[in-house]
Amino acid sequence: MGDKQHQARIEQARKEMHTLALEHGIRHPRVLSQSVKLDALINEYIDCRTADDERLLERDS
């Protein structure tokens, strides 16, 4: 998955969390669940970027 796709998925999850927080309050279980999903997407993005950076370093060595 490319950077743009990761970023779009992260932004969509962030918007969903924001909407849920406005509707239910910041401590509602649905908001917390969405926060966990958002964290997972961010971690996935970071992992992919780190792997890409490592491949570039190996290639340039």
* Tens of pLDDT, residues 19-31: 999 999 999 999 9
Of 59 and 16, the structure prediction assigns the larger pLDDT to 16
pLDDT at 51: 79
pLDDT at 61 (0 to 100): 67
Greater confidence (16 vs 58) lies with 16
Collect all residues with Cβ–Cβ distance below 8 Å to 41 and sequence separation of at least 6: 6, 9, 10, 13
What does DSSP assign to residue 1? -
Tokens representing 14 are: 């962030």
CA 32, chain centre distance (Å)? 14
User: Per mean pLDDT, which range of 1-5, 9-13, 26-30, 36-40 is the poorest?
Assistant: 1-5
Question: What are the structural domains, with CATH classification, of the chain?
Answer: 3-60 (4.10.280.10)
